[in-house]
Homo-oligomer: A and B are copies of this chain.
């Protein structure tokens, strides 16, 4: 039983990612990590809240981490972008 799995948030509707998290939990993963950068961070929080409140009531947010990544742009200059990791875990 894989302990951790990752769902990366992009620009699709929130429900798409919520169902991805639910699917991974139904497949036996106790912890699923939702990862997002920049503007999709808000959507990552939406996904976590929808999974926890609607789909898997016996899950909870175990941990949230934020950090900064350096991205290389097309013209070789770099820019900073914020990132978030939300760990959703099934309650024991």
Contact = CB atoms under 8 A, between A and B. Distances in A.
A65 B48 CA distance: 12
Contact of A45 (B46, B48, B84): B84
B86 A66 contact: yes
A39 interface: yes
Contacts of A66: 45, 48-49, 61, 64, 86
Contacts of A84: 45
Nearest to A42: B41
Contacts of A86: 66
Interface of A: 38-42, 45-46, 48-49, 53, 61, 64-68, 80, 82, 84, 86
